[in-house]
């Protein structure tokens, strides 16, 4: 599907916009879970989340192959939209983003600040995605999915950085929204020929990929009511599921309370602010602490974009 040369070229494209993000082994986290814990800090990108890497690769190819494209439209809960808006601005491509009603105010403001036209539609991500596809046809725009080859190749660059910079990892915990992040980690692991276990993480309130992984086929859920909006997906992508089933060791589900506890742990132990999906891998590691005791483990802090009001109500309420 990909070659190491393609991945390294994608990394060069990404690094033309910003440098590699850091990965640190935090001693207080190690004490907390009795394991050596390496954190990949994707909260340190220009948009505060890992998705920007995929957006940069996607838009570079689009501008090169279709220089007259009138614009791009997509749906998001926030980080994918910020990614496209940031990369679109760099390449002079107009971006329209659909978000569900009640979406994060601060993520909406960030997308507008990056230059996106923002439209609120539907009760959840999947309804917003359906409207984005309709709008693409109505206005002659290119629909940018949340899972696509360029996006996987782009976000895989963070895994390439981590797996080359950190000592050998026994396991790497990765959150699953629509699947680009975990598929990118599987891709980089396989291209580097490493034995690292890739472990997916989902919310107990949005477990579509976990159910699909167990069933061996796409399973949808009627709701995705987790506060960790980056994992709030009801309909898995079939292509992503195939990659995950072949390359992931398992999928762990975590509650919103466990995620909030991990967010507090990040603040106390590293003074890093995380969004829900960003803390979910640490929540899963804390849940599986006994199995990982004494091992060297990676966790992806995939983003730090959380509204202050939500942080206060959800995370600090349990402090």
Architecture of the domain spanning 52-143 = 3-Layer(aba) Sandwich (3.40)
Reply yes or no on whether the pLDDT at 147 is more than 90: no
Mean pLDDT of the chain: 95
pLDDT digits (tens, 9 = 90+) for 270-310: 999 999 999 999 999 999 999 999 999 999 999 999 988 88
Task: Break the chain into its structural domains and give their ranges.
Answer: 4-50+149-318, 52-143
CB within 8 Å of 177: residues ≥ 6 apart: 77, 146, 230, 231, 232, 233, 277
Do residues 314 and 267 touch, judged by C-beta distance below 8 A?
Answer: no
Give pLDDT, residue 38. Answer: 98
Give pLDDT, residue 1. Answer: 77
Do residues 14 and 157 touch, judged by C-beta distance below 8 A?
Answer: yes
pLDDT digits (tens, 9 = 90+) for 84-104: 999 999 999 999 999 999 898
CATH fold, domain 4-50+149-318, is Rossmann fold (3.40.50)
CA distance 216 to 85: 35
pLDDT digits (tens, 9 = 90+) for 184-194: 999 999 999 99
- SS3 annotation, 92-110: CCCEEEEECCCCCHHHHHH
CA distance 319 to 128: 34
């Amino acid at each position: 599907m990909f070659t190491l040369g393609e991945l390294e070229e994608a990394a060069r494209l990404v690094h033309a916009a910003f440098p590699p993000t850091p990965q640190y082994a935090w001693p207080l986290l190690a004490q907390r879970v009795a394991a050596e814990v390496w954190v990949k800090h994707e909260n340190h990108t220009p948009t505060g989340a890992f998705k920007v890497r995929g957006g940069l690769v996607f838009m570079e190819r689009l501008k090169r192959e279709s220089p007259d494209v009138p614009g791009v439209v997509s749906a998001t809960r926030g980080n994918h939209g910020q990614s496209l808006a940031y990369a679109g601005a760099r390449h002079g491509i107009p971006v329209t983003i659909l978000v569900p009603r009640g979406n994060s105010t601060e993520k909406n403001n960030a997308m507008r600040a990056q230059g996106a036209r923002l439209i609120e539609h539907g009760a959840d991500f999947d309804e917003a995605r359906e409207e984005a596809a309709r709008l693409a046809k109505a206005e002659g725009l290119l629909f940018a999915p949340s899972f696509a080859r360029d996006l996987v190749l782009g976000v895989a660059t963070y895994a390439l950085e981590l797996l080359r910079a950190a000592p050998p990892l026994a396991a790497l915990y990765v959150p699953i929204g629509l699947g680009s992040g975990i598929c990118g980690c599987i891709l980089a692991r396989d291209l580097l020929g490493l034995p690292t276990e890739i472990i997916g993480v989902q919310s107990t309130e949005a477990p579509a990929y976990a159910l699909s992984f167990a069933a061996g086929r796409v399973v949808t859920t009627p709701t995705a009511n987790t506060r960790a909006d980056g994992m709030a997906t009801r309909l898995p992508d079939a292509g992503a599921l195939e990659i995950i089933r072949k390359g992931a060791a398992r999928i762990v589900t975590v509650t919103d309370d466990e995620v909030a506890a991990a967010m507090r742990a990040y603040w106390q132990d590293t003074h890093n602010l995380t969004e829900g999906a960003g803390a979910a891998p640490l929540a899963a590691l804390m849940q599986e602490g006994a199995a990982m005791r004494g091992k060297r483990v990676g966790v992806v802090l995939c983003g730090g974009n959380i509204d202050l009001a939500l942080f206060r109500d959800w995370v600090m309420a349990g402090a």
